[in-house]
Amino acid sequence: MRAVRYHEHGGPDVLQVDEVDQPDSAADEVLIEVRAASVNAVDARFRAGSYGSVSLPAIPGGDAAGVVAEVGEDVEGFAEGDRVFAGGMGHGEGGTFAEYASIPKMKVAHLPENISFEVGGAIPNVGVTAWMAFVENAGLRPTEYCLVHGGNGGVGHTAVQLGNAMGADVLATAGSAEARERVRDLGAVVAFDYDSETLA
Ligand SMILES: NC(=O)c1ccc[n+]([C@@H]2O[C@H](COP(=O)([O-])OP(=O)(O)OC[C@H]3O[C@@H](n4cnc5c(N)ncnc54)[C@H](OP(=O)(O)O)[C@@H]3O)[C@@H](O)[C@H]2O)c1
């Protein structure tokens, strides 16, 4: 199969397309034929070598959406051909910038029919992070205020939309007028300049 890999740390120019063996699935894994995978800020940091150690050559990519190609013998609830999405890959485990990725079943979920592969492949890491913050940790309730610092970022723009969907009044910060307009379009009731000396 084809996979994007880097053999040394560096800028985007270290990425190349290689022909590699298709990954074998362990008993608790699902082999996904990848249809879409997102680029997360952390992918660039791992590639640059500034975030944590990865064994080289590495296939980057933490999120994917696609179709189940094979299920491990201990996997229940998934069948060949199912539309799925998954997150939390890469960085020591096989990444998703490849035609196939073998992913532990606990990281895989069914992708609803009305969600495209492109959207499904963009949601997992940033979506789970925003969900853990608002749902599991903060217990955010309708009509409460929440503040999303960096509302224009990968996690931030997802958090703005999630907070809004949960019925909260979302206050956000962003660094430029254009970014503040974008986060208001995504549902923030107000967007502040994070560089303002009067922010607090
Ligand atoms: N991405 C993930 O899946 C993930 C998962 C878990 C944890 N995290 C953590 O979540 C944080 C954000 O990650 P990300 O991937 O969303 O990064 P990102 O896409 O690079 O976004 C970072 C955001 O930070 C904003 N920012 C920069 N300087 C700021 C300041 N002084 N005050 C307030 N905001 C500022 C930027 O705003 P402007 O664009 O407006 O300049 C940018 O939108 C990081 O700490 C990361 O480690 C990320």
Asked which of 120, 153, 174 is the last residue of a domain, the reply is 120
Tokens of 101: 């990725």
Tell which one of 194, 196, 199 to mutate to probe ligand 1, the residue whose CB is within 8 A of the most ligand atoms: 194
Domain that holds residue 24: 2-120
pLDDT at residue 89 in the model: 83
Spatial separation of the C-alpha atoms in residues 34 and 64, rounded to whole Å: 6
Maximum separation of any 2 CA atoms in the chain, in Å: 59
Count the domains in the chain.
Answer: 2
25 lines ligand 1 (CB under 6 A): no
> Can you tell me whether residue 15 is helix, strand or coil?
strand
Are residues 48 and 9 part of one domain?
yes
Which token pair is 81?
């051909």
Chain Cα centroid distance, residue 172: 21
* Cα 11 to averaged position of ligand 1 atoms, centre (Å): 19
Q: Are residues 109 and 63 in the same domain?
A: yes
110 CA to centre of ligand 1 in angstroms:
28
pLDDT digits (tens, 9 = 90+) for 100-138: 999 999 999 999 999 999 999 999 999 999 999 999 999
Looking at 92, 120, 148, the residue that finishes a domain is 120
Tell me, using a 6 A CB cutoff, whether residue 159 lines ligand 1.
no
Let me know: does 58 contact 89? Beta carbons within 8 Å.
Answer: no
Residue 92: per-residue pLDDT: 66
Residue at 198 is within a domain = no
Asked whether residue 200 is assigned to any structural domain, the reply reads no
Inside any domain, residue 84: yes
Give me the percent of the chain exceeding a pLDDT of 70: 99
The pLDDT score that the predictor gives to residue 4 is: 97
**36-93 pLDDT, tens per residue?**
999 999 999 999 999 877 889 999 999 999 999 999 999 999 999 999 999 988 766 7
pLDDT computed for residue 25 by the predictor: 86
Q: Are residues 130 and 106 in the same domain?
A: no
Task: Identify the residue whose C-alpha is closest to ligand 1 atom 2.
Answer: 126
